[in-house]
Amino acid sequence: MASKLTRSNGAGWAFALPGFGLIALFIVLPFFFAFGLSLTNQRLISPNPTEYVGFANYRDLLGLAVITLEPERDEAGQLVREADGGIAYPRVRTVTRSDDYPQYRGMREWFRWQSGDNARVVIASDVVFMKALVNTLTFVVVVAPVQAGLALVLALLINQKLRGVNVFRAIYFMPVVVSIVVVSLLWRFIYDGNDGLLNNMLVGLTFGLFEPVDWLGNPDTALGAIMAMSVWQGVGFHMVIWLAGLQTISPTLYEAADIEGASKWQAFRYVTWPGLRNTAILILIVITMQAFALFAQVDVMTNGGPLDSTQVLVFQAVERGYGRQDISGGSTISVILFLIVLAISLLQRWLTRER
Amino acid sequence: MKTRTILTAALLGGVAFAPAAMAQTELSMWYHGAGSNNQEEATVNRLVAEFNASQDDWEVVMESFPQESYNDSIVAAALAGNLPDIIDVDGPVMPNWAWAGYMQPLGIDEARLEGFLPGTIGRWGGEVYSVGLWDAAVAVFARRSVLEDHGIRIPTLDEPWTKDEFDAALVTLDESGEFEHAFDPGMAWTGEWYPYAFSPLLQSFGGDIVDRSTYLTAEGALNGEAAIEFGEWWQSLFERDLAPGTSQDPADRETGFIDGQYALQWNGNWAALPVIEAFGDDALFLPAPDFGNGSTIGAASWQFGVSAASEHPEGARAFIEFALTDEWFAAFSDGTGLIPVTKSAAQMTQNYAEGGPLEVFYELSERQALVRPVSPGYVVAAKVFEKALADIANGADVADTLDAAVDEIDADIEANGGYGH
């Protein structure tokens, strides 16, 4: 293992020490604390002693089961129909709150599907956590490529020798330097359901045809609204990184491509894109991690609502730890989030490795 | 130890020359209302100054915190072991802090509390931990002319609206087309407003946040028939578009009633003065409707108590007792519009004296007020209740949502070993 890094490199290590020290103190150590706390029943406020509970917190978060509901039949054995023609099923609470099924106690319906006449219902110990998990993954899957792609387009646009291009650079970068809380508050006004800027604009553009939408108050649009505003807010930062990458590509390569008669697309495909390889990896990993850490927008704009459509993992961790005074539950979510991000980062490293 | 001896010596030496003020023992105090938009903070400052000038033993030094971060600061200070001597605490939160060992019993002579509004005395485990210098009450804000125009009976304390009457009134007002919404319950005010303002409605249906006979479960109270009936009605308010939902603009909440967007508004007495300014005699403050189990409104506002860490509880007690006079109750009421603690103090105020514009609130507090569940678990149950009500308003299945809330509250009570009940 003795390499050049560890031998006769005292000065280097000395310079790195403050950084390593701070990271160890404020990131590595708290993580081990969090893992330790997730195995206990630690509360935020409590005179009761903390007890070791093993993996109970993980079971409470991740518990899943599938139950089958048989349709209700009348005396003649015919299916009972709801008013809308659907098959009537007994309520899930007849199972989850029944003493006949103690193993399902406290679980709740997450989603269901039809199989024959029966309904298969997935019940979860913690539906809110499950929704937060799905929302977070959806957010990452949408935001990472869209934000990276948009940032690249902007970077290509402003990577030109034009008069006043710095003005555009400044404008695109502006949202990044404004506090995310301020940006979220402003976007709350923009998304307002009654007389928000967005609704007014859409109504104006369609000559009154557009029906105003309560963007943050509607479960179908709330997460999308937060995604759009997050992309807008973060795109400037990644644009600057792309720009830095673009400017490391030697102009002689473009000249050569020009002489060879390459089209604009070919120049991008065979000169620009390979030159941006390392930048792309960096941006992809950074955006993914940032997207997993989504918190402020949700906290300011929706508080996880409506109907849990904007619950995300970090918000849930904070809400549980401080709001519900359940430090162990919050820690458990943090540990799970850490493992997910770690797994995805390793996967990305592997997929983008030098071959 | 050595420095202390020197200090004491210096102090003793100083006494010979300096006035007695030098011998005052310092008492630290934390207060939640930094930057309050009325005279509350100024009046607390005046109280501290007058107390310090009134005697030679104690000197209270106050630090103000913004309300949003106050509770977090107390919790952090308690974990770090630096609580001040005197703290103020929101009434329903007090049992949690007392149970957690942040506060000590006030040790006050209960005869001093004679005639106080019930919501102003904070009890836990049979002892008084905190006392309020004011209370707050909620009423249905309305306009006489609007109700009369639509042929709606004006309810009284003795004969409040029934559920059907109230519902029919909302429908009538909605159908008139004069208002954006017939009723504004205040969904924009997330946080403590939900349990404070809406759990009394649930209680009026016959439900509650927890079962108050044991405080060990919410089963049956929050998901029983009465609670489900409440939930269905609550959901129907939003389904029928009688009330603005959770995405209500906070600005509309503040001014919507005065601007005529809403015909009725469920709001607290702290918001009453601007309404009187706008509508004069036309303004009405009506008692909560009776949904079958009597009319109820929430009680208890911020109160003062002594932290467990205080080495001078007698000094802290002296300060709190100093404030427990009709003069101070009246001063706070005049400065903030909040309800004075005693009837005699009410007579000394501008707003609550006989014939005063807010007089009705005193009686509302006296006759309808019910404190929120007195339990350390309330803090968590309140959060669960808030989410359940928001979800139901947004169309979630009523029974399932209330069941989930019950499970969460019960799990929390169990995880805390029953919270000492």
pLDDT of residue B72: 85
- pLDDT higher than threshold 50 for residue B20: no
The secondary structure element, H or E, covering residue A35 is: helix A29-38
Query: pLDDT class for A76, splitting at 50, 70, 90?
Result: confident
Min Cα distance A121 → chain B (Å) is 14
Determine the average pLDDT of the residues in A12-34: 92
Asked if A326 lies within 8 A of B379 by C-beta distance, the reply is no
For residues B7-22, average pLDDT: 45
Residues B234 and B270 in one domain: yes
The shortest C-alpha distance from B395 to chain A (Å) reads: 8
- Please check whether residues A139 and A249 belong to one and the same domain: yes
Q: Residue B15: is its pLDDT beyond 50? A: no
The tens digit of pLDDT for each residue in B133-184 reads 999 999 999 999 999 999 999 999 999 999 999 999 999 999 999 999 999 9
Q: Are residues B146 and B254 located together in one domain of the fold? A: yes
Minimal CA separation from B416 to chain A, in Å: 7
Please indicate whether, in this complex, the C-beta atoms of A308 and B403 are within 8 angstroms of each other. no
The answer to whether residue B105 sits within a structural domain is yes
Which has more confidence, A6 or A277? A277
The reply to whether B338 and B392 lie within a common domain is no
Residue A114: CB atoms within 10 Å: 11
Residues B33 and B113 in one domain: yes
**Whole-number average pLDDT of chain B:** 89
Question: What confidence tier does B14 reach under pLDDT thresholds 50, 70, 90?
Answer: very low
With a cut of 80, say whether residue A8 has pLDDT above it. Answer: no
- Give me the residue from B383, B384, B400 closest to A108, CB to CB: B400
Count of domains forming chain A = 2
* B400 to B385, B390, B396, B406: CA distances (angstroms): 13, 14, 8, 10
Same domain (yes/no): B335, B320: yes
What is the per-residue pLDDT for B95? 94
pLDDT(B35) > 50: yes
As a whole number, mean pLDDT of residues A26-31 equals 91
- Whether residue B219 is found in the same domain as residue B366: no
> Are A306 and B404 inside 8 Å of each other by CB?
no
Domain assignment present for B393: yes
Statement: residue B186 has pLDDT above 80: yes
What pLDDT score was predicted for residue B420?
85
Closest to B89 in 3D by CA, of B40, B30, B138, B168: B30
Residue A45 lies in a domain: no
A–B interface: beta-carbon pairs under 8 A: 76
Does A112 map to a domain?
yes
Instruction: Among A194, A305, A319, select the one facing B246 at the smallest CB separation.
Output: A305
- Kindly give, in sequence order, each residue whose CB lies less than 8 Å from that of residue B326, ignoring residues fewer than 6 positions away: B340, B342, B344, B345, B348
Same domain, B103 and B221: no
Domain containing residue A81? 64-124
The three-class DSSP label of residue B394 is coil
DSSP 3-state assignment of B128?
strand
Chain A hits for B102, CB-CB cut-off 8 Å, are: 45
Residues A217 and A92 in one domain: no
Is residue B4's pLDDT more than 80? Answer: no
3-state secondary structure of B177: coil
Residue B91 maps to a domain: yes
Share of chain A above pLDDT 70, in %: 98
Could you tell me the residue range of the domain that residue B84 belongs to? Answer: 24-135+300-371
Instruction: For residue A225, give the nearest of A217, A216, A235 by alpha carbon.
Output: A216
Cβ separation A216–B247 shorter than 8 A: yes
Task: Write down the pLDDT at residue A314.
Answer: 95
Q: Are residues A146 and A69 in the same domain?
A: no
CATH code where residue B47 lies: 3.40.190.10
| Chain B residue closest in CA terms to A302 | B247
> What would the mean pLDDT of A9-35 be, rounded to a whole number?
91
Q: How many domains does the structure of chain B reveal? A: 2
Look at residue B84 and give its three-state secondary structure: coil
Whole-angstrom distance, CA of residue A179 vs CA of residue A210: 32
3-state helix, strand, coil in chain A (%, to 5): 60, 10, 30
Closest CB to B247: pick one of A46, A106, A193. Answer: A193
Domain check: are A118 and A133 in the same one? no
Q: What is the pLDDT of residue B360?
A: 87
Same structural domain, A83 and A164: no
Is the pLDDT at B18 greater than 60? The verdict is no
| B→A interface, C-beta within 8 Å | 72, 75, 78, 96-97, 99-102, 190, 245-247, 249, 252, 379-380, 383-384, 390-391, 394-396, 399-400, 403-404, 407, 411-412, 415-417, 420
The sign of the dihedral angle between the CA atoms of B161, B163, B167, B168 is: negative
- Of A101, A124, A147, at which residue does a domain stop? A124
Q: Are residues A98 and A168 in the same domain?
A: no
**Minimal-distance CA residue of chain A relative to B384:** A324
Cβ neighbours around A286 below 10 Å, total: 16
pLDDT of residue B178: 93
For residue A154, is it within any domain? yes
Query: What percent of chain B lies above the pLDDT cut of 70?
Result: 95
Q: Is residue B108 part of a domain?
A: yes
A216: its two tokens: 């943050």
Say which residue the tokens 């009410």 belong to: B346
Rounded CA separation B341/B364 (Å): 13
In a domain, B311, yes or no: yes
What is the pTM assigned to this prediction? 0.87
B283/B395 same-domain check: yes
> What pLDDT does residue A6 have?
65
Q: Who contacts A38 (Cβ-Cβ below 8 Å, separation ≥6)? A: A57, A58, A328, A331, A332, A334, A335
Q: Indicate whether B365 and B382 sit together in one domain.
A: no
> B399 and B256 share a domain?
yes
Looking at the fold, whether B266 and B320 belong to one and the same domain comes out as: no
| Same structural domain, A100 and A134 | no
Q: Please tell me the distance in Å from B244's CA to the nearest CA on chain A.
A: 11
Q: What average pLDDT does the structure give for chain A?
A: 89
pLDDT band at B240 (very low <50, low <70, confident <90, very high): very high
pLDDT of B19 higher than 70: no
Indicate which CATH number applies to the domain containing A228.
1.10.3720.10
